[in-house]
Structure formats: structure tokens, C-alpha cells
């Protein structure tokens, strides 16, 4: 499965409806030695179930130690595919020879999500493509000008006892605070609920994650638990949605967040 790790809760875009709830976070960077390395050490005990690791946030290139972070990920997962997910807005980072050398030496791929509101975006992203091409760094890119609407709808009642796996399983698992969460919504809904405690119909629970401090958990037991739906899934529109939809009712144009709860919920 693919496991993603936030190395920062900072993002220079702060998109409305960010499904990682970044605009609602405290905007902290995680330190390598007291957070990132211990998380990777815990996960490395189960490296057989990790097909790919994704370094993300927030925007990981805003982290002042992003170069060291690349080396630390590779140190703990020497044989695993690792990808850096970035919005590619910080050209100065891609122009940094030490950053580019670190990508080369660690053999870490880049996944660029390109945003059309970046000034001169065609020229901007072409410069980044050229840098990556010239340095033989593997990368993929996609273009985003629409965002999915709110993930949680109060009037929606999915039958979570159906034997149907959510598509998040295998692709959206998050490593956070010693735990593997089923998806980014399970992992970061606390940012939403801490800011808007009046939302009492979204029910996070211990069924949303596995605790990696539990040494009795086998790899199979972890996969089995992550594959099950949990109470938080009852109101989530992701369960039955076509993830590659271009349905205009499910998409909206990009705006910066105004920290309005209706960016994430529909009541
Ligand atoms: S660029 Fe990505 S991480 Fe940053 S706020 Fe937007 S959706 Fe969230
Ligand atoms: S249905 Fe559940 S597992 Fe799937 S995205 Fe929603 S909260 Fe996450």
C-alpha cells in the first residue's frame, strides 16, 4: 500500500476544502529527530506492506530541512519507492543544487500538482520540468484547476457495514503520531473538529487507525483493520464517488480558504 507522511502542516496555498485540512492546522513543521525519524522507524518494522512512501504536507518544500528529510526517508526505507508530492510553487527550492543533488542521490521521485493561478504558470512549470529533465529526476505531473467539494455531508448515511472497501485503502493511508490511518480525512479530521466543536455528527474513533506501538499486530492484521470502514465513513462522500469525476456538481474552482466550516461540511 501507499503510505503518506506529513513533514509539515505549512502550505503556501491554503486551498479552500483542502482534504488534508491544512488551513485549519497550527501550521507547524515537524522536527526530524523528535518526530520524523521515530515515525519512520516504527513504520519500517512493517516495510513489507509499504509499496510506496509519499513525503507530503502541507507543502513539503516549505520545510527548512527538506533536504535532510529526503536523506532520512531513504535511510530508513532503502529499497522502497519514495515520492515527494509538491505543488511546485517554490522555484527557489528547485533551483537549489543541494536539493536537486539530494533527489538524485536518494532516487526520490517528484509528483508535481500544477496550479494555473501561479503567475506565468506555463513558463513556471516548464522551468521545473527542464530542471528535473536535465538532472534525470523521475517525475509525474498533473494539472489542477478544480477542487472537490466538501468531504462530509450530514444528510448522507453510507451503510458502513457493507462489505465494500473504500478506494482510500491502499492509496491514502497516512502515518501520523505513531499510527496508520485509513485515509487523510481520518487522520486530519481533528483539525476540523477542534476548530468547530459544534460539529458533533462526525465520529472519529479508534477504528480509524492502527497503533504501530502494538507489537502484537502482524502485517495482515494491519491490512485487515485498515480495509474496514469505520463510523467516520458514514457521512463521507468519498466512499461512493468516482474519484476522477468531472461532474460540475462535485467540483468547484480553486479559492484560498476563508476558514469557513462549510468548505469541509454540508449540513
Ligand atoms: S496545496 Fe495541497 S496541501 Fe496545500 S492547501 Fe492546497 S490542497 Fe492542501
Ligand atoms: S469513506 Fe472512510 S476511509 Fe474512505 S475516504 Fe471517507 S473517511 Fe476515509
**pLDDT tens for each residue of 66-122:** 999 999 999 999 999 999 999 999 999 999 999 999 999 999 999 999 988 888 989
Mutation test residue for ligand 1: of 7, 10, 15, the one with most atoms within 8 Å of CB: 15
Helices and strands (DSSP H and E) totals, the chain: 7, 12
Q: Give me the sign of the Cα torsion angle 253, 83, 60, 236.
A: positive
Domain of 5, CATH number, reads 3.20.20
CB distance 21 to ligand 2 below 6 Å: no
**pLDDT tens for each residue of 124-163:** 999 999 999 999 999 999 987 777 778 999 999 999 887 6
The predicted pLDDT at position 233 comes to 95
**pLDDT tens for each residue of 21-59:** 999 999 999 999 999 999 999 999 999 999 999 999 999
Q: Considering every ligand atom shown, identify the ligand nearest to the alpha carbon of residue 166 and give its number.
A: 2
- Is residue 267 in some structural domain? no
The predicted pLDDT at position 65 comes to 98
CB distance 3 to ligand 1 below 6 Å: no
Q: CA angle at residue 194 from 261 to 32, to 5 degrees?
A: 110
For residues 250 and 94, the model is more confident at 94
d(CA 163, CA 199): 28
For residues 259 and 148, the model is more confident at 259
Quote the cell numbers at residue 107.
532516487
Residues with Cβ within 8 Å of 265's Cβ and at least 6 positions away in sequence, in order, are 150, 151, 152, 153, 154, 192, 199, 202
CB distance 20 to ligand 1 below 6 Å: yes
- Residue 29, classed as helix, strand or coil, is strand
Closest C-alpha residue for ligand 2 atom 8: 183
Residue 248: pLDDT band with limits 50, 70, 90: low
CB distance 13 to ligand 1 below 6 Å: yes
34: containing domain: 1-261
Residue with grid cell 473538529, as numbered in its chain: 193
Q: Considering every ligand atom shown, identify the ligand nearest to the alpha carbon of residue 171 and give its number.
A: 2
Q: Find the 217 Cα to ligand 1 centroid distance in Å.
A: 33
Q: Give me the sign of the Cα torsion angle 117, 15, 43, 52.
A: negative
Tally of domains within the chain: 1
- Is residue 194 in some structural domain? yes
- Is residue 266 in some structural domain? no
42: enclosing H helix or E strand? helix 37-44
d(CA 93, CA 78): 24
Sheet holding 81-86, edge to edge: 139-143, 109-114, 81-86, 52-56, 2-6, 173-176, 179-181, 209-211
Amino acid at each position: 500500500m501507499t503510505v503518506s507522511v506529513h513533514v509539515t502542516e505549512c502550505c503556501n496555498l491554503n486551498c479552500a476544502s483542502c482534504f488534508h485540512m491544512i488551513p485549519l492546522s497550527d501550521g507547524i513543521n515537524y522536527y526530524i529527530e523528535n518526530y520524523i525519524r521515530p515515525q519512520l522507524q516504527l513504520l519500517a518494522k512493517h516495510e513489507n506492506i509499504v509499496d510506496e512512501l509519499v513525503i507530503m504536507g502541507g507543502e513539503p518544500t516549505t520545510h527548512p530541512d527538506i533536504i535532510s528529510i529526503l536523506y532520512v526517508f531513504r535511510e530508513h526505507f532503502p529499497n522502497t519507492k519514495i515520492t515527494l508530492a509538491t505543488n511546485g510553487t517554490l522555484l527557489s527550492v528547485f533551483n537549489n543544487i543541494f536539493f536537486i543533488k539530494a533527489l538524485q542521490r536518494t532516487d526520490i521521485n517528484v509528483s508535481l500538482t500544477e496550479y494555473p493561478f501561479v503567475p506565468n504558470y506555463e513558463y513556471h512549470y516548464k522551468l521545473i520540468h527542464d530542471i528535473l529533465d536535465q538532472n534525470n529526476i523521475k517525475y509525474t505531473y498533473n494539472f489542477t484547476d478544480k477542487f472537490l467539494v466538501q468531504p462530509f455531508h450530514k444528510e448522507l448515511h453510507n451503510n458502513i457495514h457493507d462489505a465494500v472497501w473504500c478506494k482510500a485503502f491502499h492509496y491514502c493511508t497516512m502515518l501520523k503520531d505513531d499510527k496508520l490511518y485509513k485515509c487523510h480525512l481520518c487522520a486530519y479530521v481533528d483539525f476540523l473538529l477542534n476548530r468547530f466543536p459544534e460539529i458533533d455528527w462526525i465520529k472519529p474513533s479508534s477504528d480509524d487507525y492502527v497503533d504501530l506501538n502494538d507489537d502484537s499486530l502482524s502485517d495482515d492484521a494491519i491490512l485487515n483493520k485498515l480495509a474496514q470502514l469505520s463510523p467516520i465513513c458514514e457521512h463521507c462522500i468519498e466512499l461512493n464517488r468516482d474519484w476522477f469525476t468531472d461532474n460540475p456538481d462535485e467540483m468547484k474552482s480553486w479559492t484560498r480558504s476563508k476558514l469557513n466550516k462549510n468548505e469541509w461540511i454540508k449540513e
